[in-house]
Amino acid sequence: MEKDFSEKKGLWKLLVDGSSCASESGVGLVLNSPDGWTLEYAQRFGFKTTNNELEWEALIAELTIAKHLEVRKIEVSSDSRLVVGLVSGEYKAREDIMAKYLAHVQNLKLDFQVFQVVKVPRPENTRVDQLSKLATAGELEKNRTVLVDYLDIPTISEVDVMDIDVQ
């Protein structure tokens, strides 16, 4: 009980979601601090991607932001059964691209003292869903500050991949 309380103390909450349409795709991210500060973020992609890849890009973007904000404890909520299952170890990556995304996230996890991932039903992810759609629509809500970013290439592009030969 005491350990559970100490892990929850100082825990940041992260909600992620992706959205794609015929011509564009993007992600929405909401990061909530333990003291009530909220960062809402939308990111539009300039490359074609699948829905699963969108979910990974959303997670990687927000974990990177959290890392730069020096967040130490984080709980990630996603409506992607695949991403949650892979990150939690419940599923095994069958496709090379999923394995690359998983490896990238596993590396990012090392920057956090506490890292939890939970599956949330889609109806509980409405705000990040709206932000992901905002990223593809380009419209901003009145009286909101939303950072909209543009990613030119996938995070795990071949440029970033390093092969290591073991002798």
CB 150 within 8 A of CB 44: yes
**Does 37 reside within a domain?**
yes
Res 2: pLDDT: 45
Phi, psi torsion values for 126, nearest 5 degrees: -65, -40
Neighbouring CB atoms inside 10 A of 120's CB total: 17
Confidence of residue 153 (pLDDT cuts 50, 70, 90): confident
Domain count, the chain: 1
Q: DSSP strand E in 21-162: where?
A: 25-32, 38-45, 73-78, 114-119, 147-151
pLDDT in tens, 86-137: 999 999 999 999 999 999 999 999 999 999 999 887 777 666 666 766 666 6
What is the chain's mean pLDDT, rounded? 81
**CATH number of the domain enclosing 25:** 3.30.420.10
Q: What is the average per-residue pLDDT within 62-78? A: 92
Among 97, 96, 91, which Cα is nearest to 50's? 97
Which residues constitute the domain of residue 129?
Answer: 9-160
For residues 72 and 17, give the distance between their C-alpha atoms in angstroms, rounded to a whole number. 22
**Does 165 reside within a domain?**
no
Residue 53 has pLDDT above 70, yes or no: yes
**Does 106 reside within a domain?**
yes
**Does 25 reside within a domain?**
yes
**Does 2 reside within a domain?**
no
Res 110: pLDDT: 96
**Does 4 reside within a domain?**
no
Res 58: pLDDT: 84
Residue 138 has pLDDT above 60, yes or no: no
**Does 3 reside within a domain?**
no
Res 95: pLDDT: 94
**Does 43 reside within a domain?**
yes
